[in-house]
Amino acid sequence: MLRNGENAPQFALNCQDGTQHTLEDYRGKPVVLIFIRGEFCPTAHKSLHMWQNFYGSIKGLNAELVAISHDTCEVSKQLHDKYTLSYPIFSDTDLVISKQYGVYIDTYKEVPYGEPALVVVDRDGQVAYSVISSGPKGLPTPEDISSILVYMSIHGGKY
């Protein structure tokens, strides 16, 4: 897992509508990266819905929110549409980005996957906060990280 103050690994990933985005696209604003296991995981469904309910607050603090899954764009689109998400789901099908962010686990039941994780990247691309969870519970809620985002909003996107 990445440590606070480290440069967040750059990425170029396709989102649920097939368009490609990079971390650099979010430069100048904090961005919350939510790593989810994928459509098969009930915790991922709850997480996507929970973060959607907090999305307006995140935008109000001049921050961005994205989810990163190892599902295909097509499967991510189904999830995106099911929960009427206002934020994108990026597809990391080969788990390259999950590996770079330290959330990749070799295999679970003979299937490679990434652990649920949350990373807050500041306006300059540095990690401001990161946490990984190996179980279905344990990741911070939006309310838990709201103080970080408020602080960053007051300090121009830095933590």
Q: Is the dihedral of CA 67, 70, 71, 73 positive or negative?
A: positive
Asked whether the beta carbons of 153 and 62 are under 8 A apart, the reply is yes
Residue 2 has pLDDT above 70, yes or no: yes
Give all domains of the chain, ordered by start, each with its CATH number: 26-154 (3.40.30.10)
Pair of tokens at residue 26: 């979010």
* CA-closest candidate to residue 38, choices 70, 86, 16: 70
* CA-closest candidate to residue 63, choices 37, 83, 34: 34
Q: Give residue 104's pLDDT.
A: 80
- The more confident residue out of 109 and 77 is 77
Q: Tell me the pLDDT tens digit for each residue of 30-53.
A: 999 999 988 988 889 999 999 999
Q: Give residue 106's pLDDT.
A: 65
Tell me how far apart the alpha carbons of residues 8 and 6 are, in angstroms, rounded to a whole number. 6
Backbone dihedral region of 26: left (phi > 0), alpha (psi from -120 to 50 degrees) or beta?
Answer: alpha
Residue 117's identity, in one-letter code, is A
Q: What mean pLDDT is predicted for residues 132-142?
A: 79
- pLDDT-derived band of residue 112, with 50, 70 and 90 as boundaries? low
